Amino acid sequence: MNSEHQPAAPLDVFYVVETTGQVSGERYHRVRSLLFETRLQANKERLHLQMTNARGAFSVWKGTTYIEPAQWSYDVVMADGTVIRSLRGNLLPGRNPGEGAMSCSP
């Protein structure tokens, strides 16, 4: 797809985080999904992960970038299924684990 016709990445994305912890008071968070344009997409993925993996607790988190136009470290799946490719060329987090350029909040 020509980058001139590619829609802009959203300022907010949603993704699934798995929280685990063996010791009281300690929690570990790991991104377990792709980055999505809508909360509904992320909720569907959360339900899928809960049904197939009962190890941890899954929740949907929201990431916001304050860079305009938005630039994510990973590809973003839009509501219509199209993918906004990262300028850095990184794969989606579900395919290539790593840290994204986002602030996280539950």
DSSP assignment letter at 96: S
Question: Can you give the pTM of this predicted structure?
Answer: 0.74
**Contact criterion met (CB below 8 Å) for 34 and 73:** no
Render pLDDT for 45-72 as a digit per residue (tens, 0 to 9).
999 999 987 677 899 999 999 988 888 8
Report the C-alpha gap between 29 and 21 in whole angstroms.
Answer: 9
Model confidence over 76-92: pLDDT tens digits?
A: 999 999 999 887 766 65
User: CB of 88 within 8 A of CB of 73?
Assistant: yes
Q: What DSSP line would sit under 49-80, residue for residue?
A: HHHH--SSEEEEEEEE--SSS---SS-EE-TT
